[in-house]
């Protein structure tokens, strides 16, 4: 993802990030579809064999990728010029006099420092984390819901994840179009500010609750199974419209340290993706699918204030000396 941001200009980075971010998310959808049939046909062990084989192939592919990180490229070029010219005084503009152990320590702690010291990073990370956790709450309970409510068997139940995949795909296409187009229009021929990416988040925040209401109530009352699948598509569509603008915003706003900013968001997001699904069974057990998902929908409506306020006050907070993070 970071390589994509370095390669593309501000005018096209939103579309590039949309496409590259979609791939790992779609993997979480394709996996259950394949896994359902594979487990039924060959046993659960083969699901792990397939993952191992695919991972091995990808790792080999990494060996043939070219470096795109600007600091690393300049450092390598400087080393090459030292050898060619014999001038050991040559230095990259990003060179540091600190020992490598100190550089590593600083880089390792930077994401945590940015999260705790920058309100913008903290707010966006927590907002995306909660929504991401909700998606995984739905995904981890989806199989049980369709088996119990609609009597879907083990093999075909994986196909119920198609709705989430379609929603993600459409959301990425929408972001590819809107992120750059709206930012260029807002700039009016001038500088494209990071905050110009955020209105797409508002759109995503409006769509997300609708998906929860559709999914919850149609599943509870056994409406045709296509309708709750449509609801999950709307949920994932809203998730993508929320998450991808956030990633693009962090890349635009924090430039050289964008990797650390996004890393902070990813860590918090993955923690939420692990913890929040644990609330799914007790939530649905106590309130039912209808009201259980409605609670998520109403909370999502309240959270809509986050992107709205960031659109209005985000630049002021980000550029304030009070919240400046010394890295």
In a domain, 70, yes or no: no
Q: How many CB atoms lie within 10 A of CB 247?
A: 25
pLDDT band at 3 (very low <50, low <70, confident <90, very high): very low
Q: By residue range, what is the domain housing residue 222? A: 98-323
pLDDT of residue 122: 92
Instruction: Name 300's Cβ contacts closer than 8 Å, sequence gap at least 6.
Output: 131, 134, 205, 208, 209, 212, 238
* Residue 301 domain-assigned (yes or no): yes
Q: How far is CA 177 from CA 23, 119, 192, in A?
A: 17, 29, 16
User: Going by C-beta distance under 8 Å and a sequence separation of 6 or more, which residues neighbour residue 167?
Assistant: 211, 232, 233, 234, 235, 236, 237, 238, 239, 240
* Within-domain flag for 180: yes
- d(CA 146, CA 152) in angstroms, rounded, equals 6
* Residue 197 falls inside a structural domain: yes
Interval 59-112: pLDDT, tens: 998 888 887 777 788 888 888 888 888 887 778 777 777 777 777 788 788 888
What are the tokens at 46?
């083969």
What pLDDT is recorded for position 170?
92
Total count of domains within the chain: 1
Q: What is the pTM of this model?
A: 0.80
How far apart are the C-alpha atoms of 204 and 312, rounded to whole Å?
Answer: 17
Query: What are 292-322's pLDDT values in tens digits?
Result: 999 999 999 999 999 999 988 988 888 888 7
Cα distances (Å, whole numbers) of residue 248 to 24, 68, 184, 272: 16, 18, 14, 21
CA dihedral for 111, 114, 115, 117, sign (positive or negative): positive
In a domain, residue 245? The reply is yes
Q: Which of 3-12, 87-96, 205-214, 254-263 has the highest mean pLDDT?
A: 205-214
pLDDT at position 67 is 78
Residue 186 lies in a domain: yes
The enclosing domain of 240 has a CATH number of 1.20.1250.20
User: Residue 265 falls within a domain, yes or no?
Assistant: yes
In order, the DSSP letters of 55-88 are: HHHHHHHHTTPPP--HHHHHHHHHHHHHHHH--T
Q: What is the pLDDT of residues 110-168, one digit of tens each?
A: 888 889 988 999 999 999 999 989 989 998 899 889 988 888 876 677 788 889 989 98
Q: Between vectors from CA 134 to CA 244 and to CA 252, what angle results, nearest 5°?
A: 20
- 218 within domain boundaries: yes
* Contact predicate 174/219, CB 8 Å: no
């Amino acid at each position: 993802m970071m390589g994509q941001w370095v390669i593309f200009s501000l005018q096209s980075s939103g579309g590039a990030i949309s496409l590259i971010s979609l791939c790992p998310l779609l993997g979480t959808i394709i996996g259950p579809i394949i896994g359902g049939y594979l487990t039924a046909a060959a046993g659960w062990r083969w699901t792990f064999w397939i993952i191992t084989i695919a991972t091995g192939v990808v790792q080999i592919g990494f060996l043939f990728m070219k470096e795109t990180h600007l600091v690393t490229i300049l450092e390598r070029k400087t080393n090459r010029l030292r050898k060619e010219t014999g001038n050991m005084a040559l230095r990259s503009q990003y060179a540091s006099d600190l020992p490598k152990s100190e550089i590593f320590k600083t880089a390792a702690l930077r994401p945590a420092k940015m999260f705790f010291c920058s309100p913008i990073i903290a707010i966006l990370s927590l907002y995306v984390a909660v929504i991401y956790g909700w998606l995984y709450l739905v995904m981890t309970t989806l199989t049980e819901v369709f088996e119990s409510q609609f009597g879907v068997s083990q093999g075909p139940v994986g196909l119920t994840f198609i709705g989430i995949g379609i929603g993600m795909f459409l959301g990425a296409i929408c972001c590819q179009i809107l992120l750059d187009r709206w930012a260029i229009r807002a700039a009016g021929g001038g500088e494209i500010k990071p905050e110009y990416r955020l209105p797409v988040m508002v759109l995503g925040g409006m769509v997300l609750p609708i998906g929860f209401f559709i999914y919850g109530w149609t599943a509870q009352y056994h409406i045709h199974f296509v309708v709750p699948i449509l609801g999950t598509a709307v949920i994932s569509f809203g998730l993508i419209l929320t998450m991808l603008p956030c990633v693009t915003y962090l890349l635009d706003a924090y430039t050289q340290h964008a990797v650390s900013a996004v890393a902070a968001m990813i860590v918090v997001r993955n923690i939420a993706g692990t913890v929040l699904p644990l609330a799914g069974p007790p939530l649905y057990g106590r309130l039912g699918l209808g009201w259980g998902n409605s609670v998520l929908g109403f909370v999502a409506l309240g959270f809509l204030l986050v992107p709205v306020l960031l659109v209005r006050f985000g630049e002021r907070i980000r550029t304030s000396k009070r919240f400046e993070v010394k890295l």
